[in-house]
Amino acid sequence: MKELFDIHVVLSTAEDFEQFEEEAQDVSEQFNDMLHYLYSRVDDDIDTEALARLFQHVWEYWSQEPQFNEIEVDELFDWVDQLLATWEDDDSTDEHIIQ
């Protein structure tokens, strides 16, 4: 159940992106936009553990990307859509992953 998942726990802060120095706040906001988009795209009935695994994957994949600040937000949204379409987690065949 998506509503049981507190997205604020997984959102980033500028400190998470210190490697971008002056751009850290902007990078954090862009990263959070991507996380909010992911949250908006999953079905309301998704299991909270499956949702947590999706967020963990996004964090692991993108948080250390050295060129993250050069990626357009639309490209990140496209990546999220692709992730949801190809997710190979145990729950990836669950009809509740994407709306």
CA distance 80 to 74: 10
Under a CB-based contact definition with an 8 Å cutoff, are residues 48 and 58 in contact? no
* pTM as predicted: 0.85
Q: Which two tokens stand for residue 79?
A: 């990546």
Q: Can you tell me which residue has the tokens 């963990």?
A: 56
CA distance 64 to 45: 30
- Is the confidence at residue 24, as pLDDT, over 90? yes
Q: What is the pLDDT of residue 89?
A: 53
- 52 vs 98: which has the higher pLDDT: 52
Residue type at position 82? Q
Domain ranges of the chain: 2-86
pLDDT, tens only, 55-95: 999 999 999 899 999 999 999 999 999 999 988 654 444 44
The mean pLDDT value of the chain amounts to 88
Nearest to 75, CA basis, from 37, 44, 23: 37
